[in-house]
């Protein structure tokens, strides 16, 4: 896991916990989320904001597969977000979840909302492995996931994260061909929305 030294507290921190913070006028610093949150709280006069460190948790998906989630709390003035994510090859990958709340609200109740969102998502599988390869599961034709950038493509092609696994755009297109002639509805939501 790649680590970077926070320019404020000088602690070595995993790269996914570092925020490039500042402005063109004043310059940028690499801060750990604790130091970043302290800076934002001071600038926004949020004297009561308390950064909390959350330990990773393990949860099971519908198939009984274990997923270890790390947490990150980020203050952004008008709100606070808590992210939950798996680590793949030293960076966030796989399942990722986020909730946004009031920076002056109770962080533990926001965490409770996030955990419930994670449980709901992990209790459903949208894909199934078949003799014909990966297919869209069930009869309802619903698939939920996240849009990411496909690092293996030399053109601007998305990859989809469905059921915590990366699905290439052309592979998803192949899955859709079993629905040839059907209609579809595509909805795109912010990652913090409950859908």
Average pLDDT over residues 5-13: 97
Above 80 in pLDDT, residue 137? yes
Separation of alpha carbons 37 and 20, rounded Å: 12
Mark whether 27 and 97 lie in a shared domain. Answer: yes
Q: Which residue, of 82, 97, 122, is where some domain finishes?
A: 122
Separation of alpha carbons 68 and 57, rounded Å: 6
The verdict on residue 28 lying in a domain is yes
Above 70 in pLDDT, residue 1? no
The verdict on residue 186 lying in a domain is no
Mark whether 113 and 145 lie in a shared domain. Answer: no
Cβ burial 109-147 (10 Å sphere, 16+ → b, else e)? ebbeebbebbeebbeeebbeeeeeebebbeeeeebebbe
Average pLDDT over residues 32-50: 93
pLDDT value, residue 80: 95
pTM of the predicted protein model: 0.88
Mean pLDDT of the chain: 92
Radius of gyration of the chain from Cα atoms?
A: 19
Structure tokens at 93: 């990958």
3-class DSSP state for residue 126? coil
Separation of alpha carbons 5 and 194, rounded Å: 35
Mark whether 87 and 117 lie in a shared domain. Answer: yes
Expressed as residue numbers, the domain containing 140 is: 127-179
Above 90 in pLDDT, residue 128? yes
């Amino acid at each position: 896991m790649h680590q970077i030294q926070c320019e404020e507290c000088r602690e070595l921190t995993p790269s996914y916990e570092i925020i490039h913070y500042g402005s063109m006028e004043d310059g940028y610093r690499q801060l750990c989320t604790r130091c970043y949150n302290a800076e934002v709280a001071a600038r926004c006069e949020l004297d009561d904001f308390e950064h909390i460190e959350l330990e990773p948790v393990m949860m099971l998906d519908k198939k009984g597969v274990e997923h270890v989630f790390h947490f990150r709390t980020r203050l952004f003035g008008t709100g606070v977000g808590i992210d939950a994510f798996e680590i793949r090859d030293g960076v966030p990958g796989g399942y990722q979840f986020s909730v946004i709340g009031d920076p002056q609200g109770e962080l533990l109740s926001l965490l409770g909302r996030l955990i419930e969102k994670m449980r709901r998502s992990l209790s459903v599988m949208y894909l199934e492995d078949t003799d014909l390869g990966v297919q869209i599961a069930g009869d309802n034709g619903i698939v939920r996931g996240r849009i990411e950038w496909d690092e293996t493509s030399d053109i601007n092609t998305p990859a989809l994260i469905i059921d915590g696994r990366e699905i290439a755009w052309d592979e998803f297109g192949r899955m859709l061909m079993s629905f040839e002639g059907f209609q579809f509805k595509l909805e795109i939501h912010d990652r913090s929305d409950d859908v």
